[in-house]
């Protein structure tokens, strides 16, 4: 089988996915100064689950008033790495013909791992990842909540301390 590949370069990273008869390869390279290339090269039997979920607006932001719409979805997969279950998320353009061919071939090669038939929230739950919207809420909660808790502790300690 000729490898089926997909690649995408967007504002924050480059993604390369490849599927052969026996291997699944995902290469990513962030565009930050400290970002290193990362490669996941596994046998198809080590691919446990995969799904495709739409991005939310916050995931497409690249600057204060800029957005990157070269991708519209996250391809999320889990895999066995020497007995440890790992998970990876990469941004993809689900409308791209090369990606559609890649995803169809992957679903044929690993039908038991495919969660494409499920709603995104259920697929993410089965893979064991939190959805993007909840992540944004958690981050906002921490940014707002931690200073409020610290302020309350200071106020209460001043009241009780005299």
Average pLDDT over residues 75-91: 94
- pTM for the model: 0.75
Residue ranges per structural domain of the chain:
4-129, 130-162
Q: How far apart are CA 15 and CA 28, in angstroms?
A: 5
CB 127 within 8 A of CB 76: yes
pLDDT reading at 116 higher than 90: yes
List, in sequence order, every residue forming a beta bridge with 21; answer none if it has no partner.
Answer: none
CB-CB contact of 6 with 14 (8 Å): no
Rounded to whole angstroms, how far apart are CA atoms 20 and 112?
Answer: 17
E strand segments, 31-146: 38-43, 47-54, 73-81, 84-92
Please name the CATH architecture into which domain 4-129 falls: Roll (2.30)
Measured distance CA(67)–CA(158) in Å, rounded: 45
- The Cα–Cα gap between 94 and 5 comes to 14
Give CA–CA dist 14/29, Å, rounded.
5
Please tell me the distance from the alpha carbon of residue 82 to that of residue 86, in angstroms, as a whole number: 10
Mean pLDDT, range 97-112, rounded to an integer: 97
70 pLDDT band, cuts 50/70/90, is confident
In this model, does residue 61 exceed pLDDT 60? no
148-161 per-position pLDDT tens digit: 788 788 888 888 87
Higher pLDDT, 129 or 58: 129
Name 27's bridge partners: 16, 39
Task: Give me the percent of the chain exceeding a pLDDT of 70.
Answer: 82
Lowest mean pLDDT across 78-82, 100-104, 128-132, 158-162:
128-132
How buried is residue 7: exposed, middle or buried, by Cβ count under 10 Å (0-12/13-18/19+)? middle
Report, in angstroms and rounded to the nearest whole number, the Rg of the chain calculated over CA atoms: 20
Identify the CA nearest to 91 among candidates 106, 105, 73: 73
């Amino acid at each position: 089988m000729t490898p089926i590949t997909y690649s995408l370069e967007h504002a924050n990273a480059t993604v390369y996915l490849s599927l052969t008869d026996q291997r699944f390869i995902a290469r990513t390279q962030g565009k930050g100064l400290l970002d290193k290339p990362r490669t996941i090269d596994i046998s198809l039997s080590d691919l446990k689950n995969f799904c495709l979920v739409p991005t939310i607006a916050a995931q497409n932001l690249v600057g204060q008033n800029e957005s990157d719409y070269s991708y519209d979805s996250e391809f999320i997969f889990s895999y066995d790495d020497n007995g440890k279950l790992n998970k990876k998320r990469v941004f993809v353009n689900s409308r791209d013909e090369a990606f559609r061919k890649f995803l169809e071939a992957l679903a044929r090669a690993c039908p038991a791992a495919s969660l494409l038939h499920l709603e995104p929230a259920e697929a993410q739950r089965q893979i064991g990842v939190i959805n993007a919207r909840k992540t944004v809420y958690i981050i906002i909660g921490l940014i707002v909540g931690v200073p409020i808790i610290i302020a309350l502790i200071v106020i209460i300690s001043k009241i009780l301390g005299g």
